[in-house]
Chain A
């Protein structure tokens, strides 16, 4: 029987948008695959955060209201996790000021969707180092987001 068919048509939009951003930001050719992947993760981050911001502005008439990824975009898992993209974005900037590598790891893992191993390749670090930094960064951000809510 015909199975559930892939729904990648709409994906075209996000992919285009991410690509256009990358091309605008860095008009020169990407140095290599890792470089490209790293830039793609940044583009995805901006794209998703801006999208959340736009929707929030439209919905709430510009009032400061938390907008989470689950807002029509996330699955149940995400709803439970309740990740607030805009707050996460700001917290990530603060983390970058403290430790740029930890912030990059979060960018690549969460926004770029890279595995521990791929992140290790992209940053030329060992998977063990990535794992350690990832654990710390997660705990740190988790706490920042919690503090921000109270």
Chain B
């Protein structure tokens, strides 16, 4: 005796087998095969025919993964060139950031060109969020460093919040990486510039939280500028909010996120050092150590994948050894096993020394202001 479930399962297996027999049979043999099934079991033949017919029409059905579809969600409406937002005149759209659309605009009061970010309404819909935004912008505006794009102002115009900051023209590191790995000298220079920016921010308790090649621009005169300091928190502040995903949720690569960030735990400056480590390896090898084609696979690698070792980078010259070792040290899963500060790495790199072996450092790291 078999249960109805077992019968249904057996029937489904039979259907699966016949489905493939027909699909793999030469065209000329198909109708004979179908006829044989029909002679034996007309109901099964009906189901088989319906499935084969559905197969024809289902070519695109669920082929785009649900997660990839999220990444291509529609963008917010955009302001047209010459549109005036308070004192700012829109020149053109410069890009789409985590918080909303970024415009190249002119501050007509000062005749100064700025990057004007419109903050998504969801990020500023209640007073708590607005207060948080103001606090973040104020902290970010206090940062003055040659490698940090300066935040000028937070503007509230017609119920819409904008952040005006220094407009940085140039290629992002992502553009540069599209041409392949960079030289050791270049990687060292970029790595040190970023460390300088991190050091300045971390001293003021500001953690970047979203350090990645897209957020770092190399200007035509060769200056490295880190964008959006502290502003990632504006997005991060919305964790758990359903509103955020209403319009344009995007699932990007979490490769640069630290394990503690992925777990939703509090982060401090060492989370930025983790991102820095991955970035440095990517600059030297052209490949992020945990890059994977899908979000799930990337997550798995960040949390559990093998740590990179210098021998995995045979094309990296010996002169890059200190840089590689500090980068790998920063990729430790436990924040306590990473270097304490950007300053520590920078001074060691300038002296050409590699990290001291094995010992965990437990000194209190710089905490984020919040």
Contact = CB atoms under 8 A, between A and B. Distances in A.
Interface string B286-301: 0000000111110111
Contacts of B250: 6-8, 10-11
A interface: dominant SS: helix
Nearest to A14: B251
Contacts of B66: 44-45, 48, 69, 83, 85, 110-111, 113
A44 B296 contact: yes
A114 B294 contact: yes
A40 B214 contact: no
Interface string B114-126: 0000000000000
Interface in A19-51: 19-20, 23, 30, 32-33, 36-37, 40-41, 44-45, 48, 51
A65 interface: no
Interface residues of A, number: 70
A110 B294 CA distance: 11
Given A13-B240, A37-B297, A113-B296, A138 B257 contact: no
Contact of A142 (B57, B96, B242): B57
A16 B168 CA distance: 31
B210 A8 contact: yes
Contact of A74 (B5, B73, B232): B73
B172 to A, nearest CB: 6
B2 interface: no
B2 to A, nearest CB: 14
A24 B249 CA distance: 24
A30 B68 CA distance: 24
Nearest to A35: B300
Nearest to A22: B299
Contact of B251 (A11, A85, A112): A11
Contacts of A81: 60-62, 64
B239 A8 contact: no
A63 interface: no
Contacts, number: 249
B303 A36 contact: yes
Contact of A75 (B74, B97, B171, B262): B74
Given A112-B65, A136-B20, A11 B50 contact: no
Contacts of B296: 36-37, 40-41, 44, 112-114
B164 interface: no
Contact of A51 (B23, B54, B245): B245
A93 interface: no
B240 A11 contact: no
Most chain A beta-carbon contacts within 10 A, residue among B5, B16, B19, B168: B16
A132 B3 CA distance: 27
Given A5-B215, A40-B300, A54-B242, A80 B169 contact: no
Nearest to B178: A3
Given A6-B214, A13-B238, A40-B295, 20 more contacts: A2-B94, A7-B97, A7-B98, A11-B251, A13-B249, A16-B263, A16-B264, A18-B299, A30-B300, A33-B297, A40-B300, A73-B70, A77-B64, A77-B72, A102-B16, A106-B62, A110-B66, A135-B19, A136-B51, A143-B54
19 contacts: A2-B170, A4-B95, A10-B249, A11-B252, A11-B295, A13-B241, A20-B264, A54-B242, A72-B73, A72-B247, A75-B69, A83-B62, A111-B67, A113-B66, A113-B295, A118-B293, A118-B294, A136-B55, A143-B51
List 4 tightest A-B contacts by C-beta distance, closest first.
Answer: A8-B252, A9-B98, A9-B235, A40-B296
Interface of B: 5, 8-9, 12-13, 15-16, 19-20, 23, 50-52, 54-55, 57-58, 60-62, 64-70, 72-74, 94-99, 102, 168-172, 174-175, 210, 212, 214-215, 217, 232, 234-236, 238-242, 244-254, 257, 261-264, 293-297, 299-301, 303-305
